[in-house]
Amino acid sequence: MSVVVLVLLAATVLAAAGLMVAMFVKDEPFYGAVGLGVLSGPGSVMALVHLAVA
């Protein structure tokens, strides 16, 4: 289970970093907002699920 979570975390961070790079290259602030959402959204959901299960 922890390996799966680690892989998902790495994929999320890479996707957010890619969106941040796209934001700087294309000068499009929307990509930055989406990148922040991608980075913070799954973590918030996982934290709430962890609190509900624990």
pLDDT digits (tens, 9 = 90+) for 5-50: 778 778 888 888 888 888 888 887 887 788 777 777 777 787 788 8
Residue span of the structural domain in which 18 resides? 2-53
Q: What pTM does this model have?
A: 0.59
> Is residue 1 very low, low, confident or very high in pLDDT (cuts 50, 70, 90)?
low
| Count of structural domains, the chain | 1
* 47 close to 35: Cβ distance less than 8 angstroms: no
What dihedral angle (degrees, nearest 10) is formed by the CA atoms of 24, 27, 29, 34?
-50
